[in-house]
Amino acid sequence: MTQLAVTLPDELSTFVDRSVKAGAFHDAEEFIVNLLYNVKAQSETELSEEQQFKLTTLRTEIALGLEEADSGDFVEFTADEIIAEGRARRAS
């Protein structure tokens, strides 16, 4: 394990001290280690460029659909109708 000395600004040092005194962490080291693990986990779950593109595309399509619905440009249907249509497509 590597030891690292870090000097915190007073505001952050006070925050760490309060968190430890409140019982959220055993000591300042546990607080910092926990914080770093959380940052590491967050960076590992960031979206790839492809995932970000897909998410942006999906959000755009949703916004378009909502605009169309707000303007009355939509067709009402039931789940049964969608199922029947799907079955008809597979049968043909």
Query: Given pLDDT bands bounded at 50, 70 and 90, which one contains residue 89?
Result: very high
Q: pLDDT tens digit string along 21-74?
A: 999 999 999 999 999 999 888 887 777 888 888 988 999 999 999 999 889 888
CB atoms within 10 A of CB 6: 7
Would the pTM count as exceeding 0.95? no
Query: Measuring CA to CA, which residue among 35, 40, 43, 45 is closest to residue 8?
Result: 35
Helical H segments across the chain, by residue range: 10-21, 28-44, 49-70, 79-91
Query: Given pLDDT bands bounded at 50, 70 and 90, which one contains residue 17?
Result: very high
Cα–Cα distance, 34 to 19 (Å, whole number): 12
Q: Which two tokens stand for residue 64?
A: 């378009």
- The per-residue pLDDT for 32 is 93
Res. 1: pLDDT tops 90 = no
